[in-house]
Amino acid sequence: MTDDVRTETGAIENLLREERTFPPPASFVADALLSDRDILARTASEEGFRAFWTEEGNRLDWMEPWSELYSWEVPYAKWFIGGKLNVSVNCLDRHVAAGLGDRVAYFWEGEPGDSRTITYAELLDEVCRFTNALRSLGVRKGDRVAIYMPMIPELPVAMLACARIGAPHSVVFGGFSADALAGRIEDAACTVVITADGGYRKGASVPLKRNADEAIARTTSVEHCVVVRRTGEEVHWYPDRDHWYHDLVAGQPAVADPEPMDSEDLLYLLYTSGTTARPKGIMHTTAGYLVGVASTHRYIFDLHPETDVYWCMADIGWVTGHSYIVYGPLANATSGIIYEGAIDFPDRDRWAQIAAKYRATILYTAPTAIRALMKYGHTEFERDDLSSLRLLGSVGEPINPEAWAWYWKYIGGERCPVVDTWWQTETGMIMISPLPGITTLKPGSATFPFPGVIADVLDEAGNSVSLGQGGYLVLDRPWPAMLRGIYGDPERYQQTYWSRYPGRYFPGDGCKRDDDGYYWLLGRVDDVMNVSGHRISTTEVESALVAHAAVAEAAVVGRSDPLTGQAIFSYVILRSGHEPSDALAGELREHVAEMIGKFARPKQIMFTPDLPKTRSGKIMRRLLRDIAEQRDLGDVTTLADAGVVNTIREQSGTAEE
């Protein structure tokens, strides 16, 4: 730790001792979009709830008006019933028609330093051309399209073109392996894959086309593969299947009729980890989703689209990018920033250089990124002018108070409210968050539910816990952007989210409410790990480990990590004839990275002769988590062999990293 970082750490410790709460600055409140302090109480009633979402729904352009706000038959909701609209029209056409065609939609920055500025009129033209190109390949309403791309402008173009046609897209994060991509293509029976020759990541090229070729070879539904030329590297070509993006759009007209979509038509699928090895295809529909992300984006980020430059630093391959880089911001006519590469490459202050270059006013990032910047210290970016910033946001996992305070002090200059947001792929939109012109902040707390959202914290028996107590977070009322199910698996949808507390949505997170009613999220309570904001199934990693010829059995848990929130800790039993070694540990880590993606690579692997199991053969993961966290063990009387845990504990100091 450098002297500068030590000084910062001391300053943050003092700040948290002296300042327990952070009210909105008076200068911020004066211009805040939302300053009605009664809004939470008012929208808690059914009448207020309906009035709020009716007003928000009426902000969109409808091809046919809706007749009923919502219906609710647990666990299925419908919103804006009877209405028809098109998402791409609401993100592009209506703004151009309103005279905003020259407004910047995206400032795009490539990792090598190339850049583009794209206006709303230009983005609409590009979307229409690609819409016509996809239609020329036979893509029609209802067809599923897989998108596997780097963070380049053609990614939101592809999403919006699919939305214009009414072809649900399934965006797959560019860090996923060919195996992971194949599973997602096959589950959705995608007919088209849109990818790139490669993408830049920390000076290297990610071989996206090669991965896509491997994935498509394992599937049966793909008819066409559209390829954007990004890195210029050589790729294998299948003339009857493959098409260069730029050749396809050349000569296409910049006008494309939008498909009228029912409010409940499927907009996209997004696969997320579950407690089994098979990811869940989360279904989001059209109107309710767009209303939900547009309204939360407007109010939580206090959006002033005429003057704000907004930067969500997530990857579009995750739900944060869908909701708060593409659909929410564009629906609000926002000027946004997209960056292709890692925020600290090639310079530690690359992110700050970009924020300064485009005069960003709003920054939305993950606690993992904040902790990485803390490690470098603020002197790494003190030469970059961040005075344009006026609001900061956090997403992906609970943020620890120290990171919150550092973010507020050194990046926000002690003037920017921090909106710490809780939500999920499944919720579609932010559910618990401060309203920056209203809420007094507490570092580490997501504060209160968004207007109209009713949450509670329950004990095991389903009783609401008292203030000051912890338990399980639930949501008590439907919301517009909520998932409409798991693709092809309604039973799993019911079992996963609605069975523990019937009639209430259980997201799988622990939570406590303090004496003032503030919500403090505690992370996952099931077997899904949250690593750098990526939800990773323990079963998925275990399956990858066991697929290696040397591994007989594996168990995976999440262990607290100061940088990534959780790190993957793996216990591995080897097959006979294989011996533990540093080399084998490294081979297993890379094997997981190849099968799932680099972000799922275990941080530590411990070779063990056995695992703690009950007499029925169930692995006691609680004990494995306790060992990984070096905590005292609780009751071990249900183990078939209580001596196993002592053996593992003795070896825990020698786990390979």
Instruction: Tell me the per-residue pLDDT of 134-162, one tens digit each, with 9 for 90 and over.
Output: 999 999 999 999 999 999 999 999 999 99
Local structure of residue 319 (DSSP, 8 states): H
Residue 568: domain span: 528-654
- Alpha-carbon distance of 114 to 101, in angstroms, equals 23
Q: Is residue 317 part of a domain?
A: yes
516-541 average pLDDT score:
82
What tokens appear for 550 in the block? 């040397």
Last residue of a domain, one of 259, 286, 301: 259
Specify whether 536 is located in the same domain as 635: yes
In a domain, 264, yes or no: no
Q: Looking at the chain, how many residues does it have?
A: 657
Tens digits of residue pLDDT in 199-237: 999 999 999 999 999 999 999 999 999 999 999 999 999
Three-state secondary structure call for residue 49: helix
User: How open is the CA angle 533-537-539, to the nearest 5 degrees?
Assistant: 160
Question: Residue 196 has which token pair?
Answer: 């790139």
What letter represents residue 490's amino acid?
A: P
Residue 268 lies in a domain: no
Weakest mean pLDDT among 367-371, 383-387, 518-522, 573-577: 573-577
State the pLDDT at residue 533.
Answer: 78
What integer is the mean pLDDT of 176-191?
94
Res. 484: pLDDT tops 60: yes
Under the banding of pLDDT at 50, 70 and 90, the label for residue 19 is confident
As a 3-state breakdown, the chain gives helix, strand, coil percent values, each rounded to 5, of 35, 25, 40
pLDDT-derived band of residue 368, with 50, 70 and 90 as boundaries?
confident
Tokens, residue 552: 């007989």
Tell me: do 359 and 320 sit in the same domain: yes
Percent of the chain with pLDDT over 90: 73
Q: Of the candidates 259, 286, 308, which is a domain's last residue? A: 259
Whether 576 and 606 map to the same domain: the answer is yes
Residue 128 lies in a domain: yes
Tell me how far the alpha carbon of residue 394 is from its chain's centroid.
11
Q: Is residue 578 part of a domain?
A: yes
Picking from 259, 288, 313, the residue at the C-terminal end of a domain is 259
For 656, the token pair is: 């390979």
- Do both 480 and 612 map to the same domain? no
Contact status, residue 21 vs residue 440, Cβ threshold 8 Å: yes
**Do you find a cis peptide bond into 612, omega within 30 degrees of 0?**
no
- Which pTM was predicted? 0.87
Mean pLDDT of 425-431: 97
269 assigned to some structural domain? no
346 & 282 share domain? yes
User: What CATH number is associated with residue 410?
Assistant: 3.40.50.12780
In a domain, 270, yes or no: no
pLDDT of residue 656: 43
Residue 209's CATH number: 3.40.50.980
Shared domain check, 117 and 91? yes
Query: φ, ψ for residue 36 (rounded to 5)?
Result: -80, 105
- What integer pLDDT is reported at residue 652 of this predicted model? 60
Shared-domain flag, residues 427 and 544: no
What is the average pLDDT across 84-92?
A: 98
pLDDT class of 16 with cuts at 50, 70, 90: confident
Predicted confidence (pLDDT) at residue 256 exceeds the cutoff of 70: yes
Angle of CA points 164, 166, 169, to nearest 5°: 95
The CATH number covering residue 650 comes to 3.30.300.30
Cα distance from N-terminal residue to C-terminal residue, the chain? 21
> What is the mean predicted confidence (pLDDT) over 49-66?
98
Are 159 and 92 members of one domain?
yes
Cα–Cα distance measured from residue 349 to residue 385, given in angstroms and rounded to the nearest whole number:
11
Pair 430, 578 in one domain: no
Q: Is the pLDDT of residue 176 over 70?
A: yes
Q: Considering its fold, how many domains does the chain have in total?
A: 3
Q: Work out the average pLDDT over 181-203.
A: 96
pLDDT tens digits, 500-528 = 999 999 999 989 999 999 999 987 777 77
- Give the per-residue pLDDT at 613: 63
Closest residue by Cα to residue 158 from 192, 201, 197: 192
Classify residue 355: in a domain, yes or no: yes
Distance, CA of 279 to CA of 316 (rounded, Å)? 18
Average pLDDT over residues 573-600: 90
Contacts of 430 (CB under 8 A, 6+ apart): 296, 300, 421, 422, 423, 450
- pLDDT at 274 exceeding the cut of 80: no
Q: Whole-angstrom Cα distance, residue 573 to residue 578?
A: 10
Give yes or no for a contact between 501 and 462, defined as CB atoms under 8 angstroms apart. yes
Tell me the percentage of the chain whose pLDDT exceeds 70. Answer: 93
Asked if 342 and 479 sit in the same domain, the reply is yes
Residues 102 and 173 grouped into a single domain: yes
Residues contacting 620, CB < 8 A, separation 6+: 612, 613, 614, 636, 638, 639
Tell me the C-alpha distance between 469 and 7, whole Å: 35
Tell me whether the omega of the peptide bond preceding residue 346 falls within 30 degrees of 0, making it cis.
yes
Residue 398 reports pLDDT greater than 90: no
**261-270, 462-471, 553-562, range with the lowest pLDDT:** 553-562
Q: Which of 432, 448, 452, 454 is nearest to 505 (CA)?
A: 454
pLDDT grade for 645, boundaries at 50, 70 and 90: low
Residues 600 and 624 in one domain: yes
Query: CB count, 10 Å around CB of 216?
Result: 25
How much is the mean pLDDT over the chain? 91
For residue 655, what pLDDT band results from cuts at 50, 70 and 90? very low
| Confidence grade of residue 310 (pLDDT, cut at 50, 70, 90) | very high
Render pLDDT for 329-365 as a digit per residue (tens, 0 to 9).
999 999 999 999 999 999 999 999 999 999 999 999 9
Distance between CA atoms of residues 392 and 394, nearest Å: 7
Confidence of residue 388 (pLDDT cuts 50, 70, 90): very high
544: left (phi over 0), alpha (psi -120 to 50) or beta: alpha
pLDDT surpassing 70 at residue 309:
yes
Return the closest-CA partner of residue 422 out of 551, 502, 509: 509
**pLDDT for 628:** 81
Average pLDDT over residues 104-113: 97
What is d(CA 528, CA 279) in angstroms, rounded to the nearest whole number? 11
